[in-house]
């Protein structure tokens, strides 16, 4: 259950915000890892599993959204529901460790705390936390004073927008992003489609040869320039997955252009 911590001053209350869709397999562990927050708000987008019921049973404030405007706008929607002086934004497949929990509570209690902090994120890929391949170090701006930041309006790969310098915390946020290769394929399809639509809306276009080139470069960049070879077999698999994601993103962008001409 989400606990209310009366020991935290009213000016330091912490809100955790999460957006979900069909996250029944993840949401319980996610919520249990943030049970130290004063409130946890889940904005669920038309899940057809029991994500919302699980979240409610664990004390989260659950709101429902029938439409999907994209990741950035959806995160701004859930941010608008937060009431704490501090906000921690996480995804359903992320976990706050006990060490990170203690660090967060210590940071927001400081009288000289900054307005925004980055969390080092350690991501899981099909059985292993990736240490190279462009995935580490991976700093994400997630902890901030409410009212000092908002998310970009991007449909995918949204960013937290703020004006001040960010300092990184020490302990990592665990990200179970790809538990199986089936997950990888599902995410490649979903994210490549959203990225293509976003690029198309901005006036970008692509060719089939360009899609092939982007895919090859994604593999080379991940495996060689980002030292993916140091991650062993997982590094090879991740480099191929990145290549596929890039290839399909630009191929779908090309297809959107073809459909426009019909």
Tens-digit pLDDT profile for residues 18-30: 999 999 999 999 9
Rounded mean pLDDT, 214-225: 98
**63, β-bridge pairs:** 43
- pLDDT of res. 78: 98
Question: Count of alpha carbons within 13 Å of 231, Cβ hemisphere only?
Answer: 27
Instruction: Tell me the domain boundaries of the chain.
Output: 10-178, 181-261
**120, β-bridge pairs:** 139
DSSP sequence for 69-108:
--HHHHHHHHHHT--SSEEEE--TTEEE-HHHHHHHHHHH
Query: For residue 8, is pLDDT > 60?
Result: no
Model pLDDT for residues 220-232, shown as the tens digit of each residue: 999 999 999 999 9
Contact 154, 201 (CB under 8 A): no
Tell me which fold the domain 10-178 belongs to.
Answer: Spore Coat Polysaccharide Biosynthesis Protein SpsA; Chain A (3.90.550)
Nearest CA to 142 out of 94, 81, 194, 83 is that of: 94
Q: Residue 137's pLDDT band (boundaries 50, 70, 90)?
A: confident
How far CA 254 is from CA of 42, 150, 157, 187, in Å, comes to: 36, 32, 20, 20
Query: For residue 59, is pLDDT > 50?
Result: yes
- pLDDT of res. 178: 96
- pLDDT of res. 93: 98
- pLDDT of res. 3: 56
């Amino acid at each position: 259950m989400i606990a209310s911590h009366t020991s935290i001053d009213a000016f330091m209350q912490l809100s955790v915000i999460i957006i979900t869709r069909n996250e029944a397999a993840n949401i319980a562990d996610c919520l249990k890892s943030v049970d130290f927050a004063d409130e946890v708000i889940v904005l669920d987008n038309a899940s057809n599993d029991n994500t919302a019921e699980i979240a409610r049973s664990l004390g989260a404030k659950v709101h429902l959204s029938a439409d999907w405007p994209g990741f950035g706008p959806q995160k701004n929607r859930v941010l608008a529901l937060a009431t704490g002086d501090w906000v921690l934004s996480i995804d359903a497949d992320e976990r706050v460790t006990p060490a990170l929990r203690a660090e967060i509570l210590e940071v927001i209690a400081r009288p000289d705390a900054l307005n925004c902090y980055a969390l080092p994120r350690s991501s899981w890929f099909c059985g292993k936390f990736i240490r190279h391949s462009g995935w580490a170090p991976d700093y994400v701006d997630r902890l901030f004073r409410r009212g000092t930041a908002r998310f970009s309006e991007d449909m995918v790969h949204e960013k937290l927008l703020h004006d001040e310098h960010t300092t990184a915390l020490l302990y990592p946020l665990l990200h179970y992003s790809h538990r199986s290769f089936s997950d990888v394929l599902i995410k490649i399809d979903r994210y490549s489609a959203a990225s293509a639509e976003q690029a198309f809306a901005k006036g970008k276009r692509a060719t089939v040869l360009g899609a092939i080139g982007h895919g090859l470069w994604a593999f080379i960049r991940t495996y060689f320039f980002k030292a993916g070879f140091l991650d062993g077999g997982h590094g090879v698999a991740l480099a191929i997955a990145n290549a596929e994601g890039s290839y399909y993103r630009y191929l779908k962008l090309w297809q959107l252009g073809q459909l426009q001409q019909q």
